[in-house]
Amino acid sequence: MEKTRVIKILQILSELYGHLGCALKFRTPFELLVATMLSAQTTDVTVNKATDILFKKYNKPQDFVNIPQSELEKYIRTCGFYKNKAKNIIAASRMIVEEYNGKVPDSLEELTKLPGVGRKTANVVLSNAFGKDAIAVDTHVFRVSNRIGLAKSEDVLKTEEQLMENIPKNMWSSAHHLLIWHGRNICTARNPKCLECPINELCDYYIKNKKS
Ligand code: SF4
């Protein structure tokens, strides 16, 4: 897609939604890492409710190394897949303590070595906790960017690569938030509200369906 069209799309979305930040509540890179690990297959609101209580008592990697898994599970039960999430959070905390001196690493390569941390989680942490340019491809970003034509792939990794190619680097992080927000509000998974969408004339999906 031409750069001018990409920038126009992001400008319109930016005017619509304003400046967006991460919807997960956190005070440190470690808290964001835990919150993002918990956010798989659930909503940010559910995660925030759980971490509001959890982080009052446990909020450093060392705390999670010493916590019995069953104790952690009590705090995160509402987030779904809680046994697996608890296991990964404890294992990732141990690795942070043992290999990174208790500090969350700030590179994609190191973050994705942590148990239970994939590229999406790593990119969320890099972008929101460390202020680095990164595009995390979650379900909304994947769907919306492929509908618009910012990416053309059925593969998440390829979508991330194409987005990095098509979107200017200094807009990666804001594009991530804008696409999520657009996916939640207008470009919903079922029945996207194309007629009221302010970027419809720039969107491949709309243009194609309007013609057919
Ligand atoms: S026009 Fe429709 S498919 Fe395209 S971004 Fe807007 S809501 Fe999504």
pLDDT value for 152 = 96
**What is the fold of 3-20+137-211?**
Endonuclease Iii, domain 2 (1.10.1670)
- Residue spans of alpha helices (H) in 39-154: 44-57, 61-66, 69-76, 82-99, 108-111, 119-128, 139-148
Taking the C-alpha atoms of residue 158 and residue 140, their distance in angstroms, rounded to an integer, is 15
- Work out the pLDDT band at 162, boundaries 50, 70, 90: very high
- Work out the pLDDT band at 212, boundaries 50, 70, 90: low
pLDDT value for 196 = 96
Among protein residues, the one with the nearest Cα to ligand 1's atom 4 is 203
Mutation test of ligand 1: which of 10, 12, 144 has the most ligand atoms closer than 8 Å to its C-beta?
144
Q: Residue 89 pLDDT more than 70?
A: yes
* Correct CATH for 29-128 of 3.40.50.880, 3.40.30.10, 1.10.340.30, 1.10.533.10: 1.10.340.30
Would you give the DSSP letter of residue 80? S
* C-alpha of residue 37 to centroid of ligand 1, in Å: 29
Q: Active-site residues: which are they?
A: 120, 138
Mutation test of ligand 1: which of 146, 199, 210 has the most ligand atoms closer than 8 Å to its C-beta?
199
* C-alpha of residue 42 to centroid of ligand 1, in Å: 24
Listed by start position, the domains of the chain span 3-20+137-211, 29-128
pLDDT value for 180 = 93
